[in-house]
């Protein structure tokens, strides 16, 4: 196994164990976009399934939208996803959600709307088919970006947690890539010969998240050590030393 693949595999293992993401008999639905993050995650979970301490099931689902037809994004190559899932032995289904068409008159497309629509459909799909976990491909940089956006825009110390049980549904979101940096995922995707790892949606390329990404690059100087130190502060909140 090459270097970047090993690194990703180890970091996912550490995350799965540290945050107790997998329990015996779990039925895990993997959300696959066709991008590098969720593709690497699906590849790694498929290989872990063979040797993990306790048995778990996986399947994958791709939420296709009407964003391409509506001119917001390039079309997603679903056949590529489908072929990879078959190769890795992951049962796969595609569902179509008319995200743009669901907008009411006067409403405009935005990332929050699109993400919420897709998440809701995934949750519905997962519950109807008896999945108890939903695996999302957010990585360490995503989590730090959300942390800073919440601090700077909402005045909250909060982010996308590695494990998040829904209170109202028998479903838990897990983020197995929580300890992987984006650069590590890109390297892994290259070793796996995945095609272009760029986002298929061009709607919000210069949006808030990208501004925050550049901000964090400046803050950390790109240092993994500093990023992981900031990440650690999320689990070391000293309430006696806050306002």
Per-residue contact flags (x/-) with a copy of itself for residues 103 to 142, judged by CB under 8 A: ----------------------------------------
Which 13-72 positions form the footprint of a copy of itself (CB under 8 A)? 19
214 binds a copy of itself per the rule CB under 8 A? no
CB distance 11 to 54 below 8 Å: no
Stretches 48-56, 80-88, 191-199, 228-236: which one binds a copy of itself (CB under 8 A)?
Answer: 228-236
User: Please, what is the minimum distance in Å from the beta carbon of residue 190 to a copy of itself?
Assistant: 27
Between 80 and 166, name the residue whose CB sits nearer to a copy of itself.
166
Alpha-carbon distances of 238 from 81, 101, 241, 243, rounded to whole Å = 44, 46, 6, 10
226 binds a copy of itself per the rule CB under 8 A? yes
Which 137-196 positions form the footprint of a copy of itself (CB under 8 A)? 143, 150-162, 164, 178
Count of residues in contact with a copy of itself, rule CB under 8 A: 38
Distance CA(58)–CA(104), nearest Å, equals 36
Between 213 and 228, name the residue whose CB sits nearer to a copy of itself.
228
Sheet holding 27-31, edge to edge: 92-97, 57-65, 27-31, 133-135, 172-174, 163-165
Of 132, 172, 188, whose CA–CA distance to 12 is shortest? 188
Q: Looking at 4-100, which runs of residues are DSSP E strands? A: 27-31, 57-65, 92-97
CB distance 64 to 34 below 8 Å: no
101 binds a copy of itself per the rule CB under 8 A? no
Query: What residues line the site for a copy of itself (CB under 8 A)?
Result: 19, 143, 150-162, 164, 178, 215, 218-220, 226, 228-243
């Amino acid at each position: 196994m090459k270097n970047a693949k090993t690194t990703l595999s180890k970091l996912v293992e550490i995350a799965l164990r540290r945050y107790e993401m997998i329990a015996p008999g779990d039925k895990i639905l993997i959300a696959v976009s066709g991008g590098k993050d969720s593709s690497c995650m699906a590849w790694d979970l498929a290989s872990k399934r063979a040797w993990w301490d306790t048995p778990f099931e996986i399947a994958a689902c791709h939420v296709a939208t009407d964003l391409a037809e509506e001119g917001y994004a390039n079309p997603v190559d679903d056949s590529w996803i489908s072929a990879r899932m078959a190769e890795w032995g992951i049962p796969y289904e595609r569902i179509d959600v008319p995200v743009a068409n669901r907008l009411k008159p006067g409403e405009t497309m935005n990332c929050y709307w699109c993400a919420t629509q897709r998440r809701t459909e995934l949750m519905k799909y997962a519950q109807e088919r008896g999945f108890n976990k939903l695996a999302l491909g957010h990585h360490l940089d995503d989590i730090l970006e959300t942390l800073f956006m919440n601090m700077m825009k909402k005045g909250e110390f909060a982010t996308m947690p590695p494990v998040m049980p829904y209170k109202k549904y028998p479903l838990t979101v897990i983020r197995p890539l929580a300890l992987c940096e984006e650069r590590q995922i890109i390297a892994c995707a290259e070793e796996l010969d995945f095609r272009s790892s760029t986002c298929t949606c061009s709607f919000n390329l210069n949006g808030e998240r990208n501004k925050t990404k550049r901000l964090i690059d400046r803050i950390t100087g790109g240092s993994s050590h500093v990023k992981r130190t900031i990440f650690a502060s999320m689990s070391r909140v000293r309430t006696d030393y806050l306002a």
